[in-house]
Each structure stands twice: as C-alpha cells, then as structure tokens.
Amino acid sequence: MSTLNTLKEADQQLIRLLADGQFRSGSQLGEVLGVSRAAVWKRAQRLNDFGLALESVKGKGYRLAQPIDLLDADYLKNFLSEAVGPVDLHYSLITDSTNADALAATSQPGRPAVFLAECQMAGRGRRGRQWQSPFAANHYLSIRYPIQGGFAALGGLSLAVGVAVADALTSLHPGLPVGLKWPNDLLVNGAKLGGVLIELAGEMEGRVDVVVGVGLNGRMTASQAAGIDQRWTDLASETGGQLPRTEVAARVLEHLLAMLGAFSGQGFAPMVSRYEHYDQVVGKTVKVQSADQVLSGVAAGVSADGALRLETADGLKELYGGEVSLRIQ
C-alpha cells in the first residue's frame, strides 16, 4: 500500500496542528486527535515520509523544524467564484499528481475544475520527467477546462498559459523579471521558476477537455531541490519571501481561468504581443531537438498558433511543441 493511501484524516489534522512551527505537547495533540500519546508519536514519525522535518524535545513536545504556509482552500473557492464565476475546487494535502487527478475527474459540463495539493508523490513535468514537489514548499495546481473547437483549437495553449502565469506574478510583485522560454518554462534571470504541462482529457461534442498543469517554485531548500538538473530559483528568493502561498495561488488561478475563457473563443493570436513581452528566446541562437532531427538557428519569435519561428541556414522554419526540446546556446 502506498504512503499516499495510508494517509489518514488524523495525519492530515496533525500536519495542520503543527503547521505554525510551535511546540505542542503529546498530551495536547492526543486530546485534539482523540488518540493516545503513543499513537501521537507514531503519527508524528510518519511526517518524515512527506519530507516534513519534525523536532521532538522532552518537556516541550513536537514541532515542525520550519513552519509551513498551507493553502486556504475555502478562501480560494470563494475568491474564484467572485472573480471568475463558479468553479469546482478540489484540495488535497497530498496526492500523486494534480494533473492525474484532473484527468481522472468526471467533467461537469460548462464548469472548470481546479485541483490543488500541498505535496505530490508522483509529480510530472514535460516528457515524463519527475517534478520536485516537496510539502507546502511550491505550487502544484491543475485546471480541467473545456475548449471549443476540438484539438485543432489548441495551438499555442502552453504559451498562453505561460503569459497568464507571468502576468499574475508581475501583478503580485511588479518588477519581477519573469520571462518565458518556448514552449513551457518560466524563468527569472535564466533560472527556472516554473513549468507548464498540458494534457488532453478527451474530445466530445465539438469541444476538448484540456488539463492545464502549472508548477511554481515557492520556497525550496537546496536539499529539497537536489533532484533538479538545471539552474533554478523560487519566489521567496526573488521577492524577499513576501508572497503568501494562498495569495499567489489565487492570482495565478484567476489569470489562468480568465485566459482560458478568452482562449476558448479566440485562440492564441490575440496574446502574441503579450508573449513577445516575456519572450526570453527571440533573437538568440538556439538548438531545437525533436525525436528525429536537431535544428540550429536564430529564434525569430512565435506565430499566431504558437509555433517557434526559427531562422536556419535552410530558411525560416516553424516548429511546434510536442516532444521538442530547446536549448539556448
């Protein structure tokens, strides 16, 4: 049985009780949880399974080595309902993957569904890569959304998502030098801040349900980021730790849902100029690798359907996302 499947309500309640980083005695915790002090000890040890460092001091009790900033799901649901209309919001302390949750969900006609988690046990990035998902350190969110026009209407969606997230972050922290690397990465000064993963949940009656996954580094330690194989940064480092996680999630989701409503009707074309504002690739010499070829050239912006325009020795070519990997040389 997986760690995720053995997470009980009492474990979740214990995490919430210790989230502020203050000491709680075993007897206090046992009284709230309705269990013995011995049972509290057993449950406390399990927090290590989720990457939560626990301190135990005789005479004081238990506390988390670092307080954690849990999302306020009730606030988010009310905020989004007022800002963009009714949404189905699903919040978990721990899940395998918010994108997987969205893909498995039953679609409610005409209503977007939002999936949030504090920790992912099997978070995924593009091309099947593992996405580092430590507990309450970053942002893991997915939206399942119906797009009119079927698969043909999806060109440029990952770029539009990047624009929406970048707009949200700069509205929260004006001057944040966030940029976009075609087709899926958010960068600050060349270091990766986040990424986008688009998946398809199925086509029906002239529409396709897309799952838009976004991961953003919030506040990570070097040990939590040990599995990342590229330069990275996080919001805490870039903003001085000023942004509460719930506020970040609210603004990002607000911008994403508004963008998806516009994208469903108009596609990516109206957002090209906004993308150009954040484009970190244009004018640079790049190498683009796909399954069967490697192309080098100078990036010349993007087209109205999200293709990368690449000036090569053989002329101008237009390349699409999918399994393509881009490196700035």
Top CATH class of 281-328 equals mainly beta
Average pLDDT (110-137) is 74
Residue 149: predicted pLDDT: 80
Q: CA Rg, the chain, in Å?
A: 21
Q: Which CATH architecture has domain 9-64?
A: Orthogonal Bundle (1.10)
Average pLDDT (248-275) is 96
What is the C-alpha separation between 140 and 317, in angstroms, rounded?
A: 34
Pair of tokens at residue 37 = 């002090």
What is the C-alpha separation between 54 and 18, in angstroms, rounded?
A: 9
The alpha helices in the chain, defined as continuous H runs, are: 9-18, 26-33, 37-46, 73-84, 98-104, 157-172, 235-239, 245-266, 272-278
Residue 8: predicted pLDDT: 61
Q: How far is CA 266 from CA 137, 160, 230, 303, in A?
A: 35, 12, 35, 15
> Of 274, 189, 171, nearest to 234 (Cα)?
189
- Number of helical H runs and strand E runs in the chain: 9, 14
Residue 116: predicted pLDDT: 96
Please identify which residue in the block is written with the tokens 């949940």. 201
Q: Is the pLDDT of residue 110 over 80?
A: no
What topology is assigned to 73-276 in CATH? BirA Bifunctional Protein; domain 2 (3.30.930)
User: What integer best gives the mean pLDDT of the chain?
Assistant: 87
Residue with the bigger pLDDT between 108 and 233: it is 233
325-328, strands of its sheet edge to edge: 315-319, 308-312, 294-302, 285-289, 325-328
Q: How far is CA 310 from CA 254, 281, 288, 295, 321, in A?
A: 33, 10, 9, 9, 13
224-233 confidence digits (pLDDT tens): 665 676 788 9
Domain parsing of the chain, residue ranges: 9-64, 73-276, 281-328
Residue 320: predicted pLDDT: 86
Average pLDDT (300-329) is 87
192-208 confidence digits (pLDDT tens): 999 999 999 877 767 88
Q: How would you classify the pairing of strands 113-120 and 88-95? A: parallel
| Residue numbers annotated as active site | 126, 192, 327
Residue 5: predicted pLDDT: 41
* 4 pLDDT tier (thresholds 50, 70, 90): very low
> Which amino acid type is present at position 302?
V
* 43 pLDDT tier (thresholds 50, 70, 90): confident
